[in-house]
Structure 1
Amino acid sequence: MPAITVCCSGSGTNLQALINAGCHIRQVICNRECPAANRARAANIPTLITESIAVQDIDPQSELIVLAGYLKILSPQFVAAFEGRIINTHPALLPRFGGKGMYGMHVHEAVLASKEKESGCSVHLVTNQVDAGKILAQRKVPVLPDDTAKSLQQRVMSQEHQLLVEIVKNWDKYCPKEEREN
Structure 2
Amino acid sequence: MLRIAVLVSGGGTNLQAIMDAVADGKITNTEIATVISNNKNAYALERAAKAGIPNCCISPKDYADRAQFHEALLAALDEAQVDLIVLAGFLVVIPEMMIRKYRNRIINIHPSLIPSFCGTGYYGLKVHEGVLNRGVKVTGATCHFVDEGTDTGPIILQKAVEVKNGDTPKILQQRVMEEAEWIIMPKAIDLIANGKVKVVDGKAIVEEN
TM-score, normalising length from structure 1? 0.92
1:168 aligned to which of 181, 189, 207 = 189
Query: In structure 2, what is the Cα distance between the partners aligned to 1:127 and 1:55?
Result: 16
SS at match of 1:36: helix
Shift of 1:97: 1.0
Number of equivalences: 178
Q: Larger C-alpha radius of gyration, 1 or 2?
A: 2
Residue matched to 2:66: none
Q: Which runs of 4+ in 1 moved over 4 A?
A: none
Shift of 1:60: 4.5
SS at match of 2:56: strand
Residue matched to 1:79: 99
Farther-moved stretch of structure 1 (133-142 vs 56-65): 56-65
Shift of 1:37: 1.0
Query: In structure 1, what is the Cα distance between the partners aligned to 2:34 and 2:45?
Result: 10
Change (3 A) 1:133 1:24: same
Query: Which runs of 5 or more structure 1 residues have no equivalent in the other structure?
Result: none
Query: In structure 1, what is the Cα distance between the partners aligned to 2:120 and 2:76?
Result: 25
Query: In structure 2, what is the Cα distance between the partners aligned to 1:42 and 1:109?
Result: 34
Query: In structure 2, what is the Cα distance between the partners aligned to 1:153 and 1:64?
Result: 26
Letter in 1 for 2:31: H
Mapped contact 1:92–1:120 kept (Cα < 8 A): yes
Query: In structure 1, what is the Cα distance between the partners aligned to 2:172 and 2:4?
Result: 29
Is 1:127–2:150 an aligned residue pair?
no
CA RMSD of aligned residues (A): 1.7
Is 1:21–2:21 an aligned residue pair?
yes
Of all paired residues, the percent bearing the same amino acid is 39
Query: In structure 2, what is the Cα distance between the partners aligned to 1:20 and 1:68?
Result: 14
Letter in 1 for 2:55: T
Letter in 2 for 1:174: V
Q: 1:141-174: CA deviations, max 9, x gaps? A: 1111111111111111011011111111111213
Residue matched to 1:147: 167
Residue matched to 1:32: 39
Letter in 2 for 1:25: I
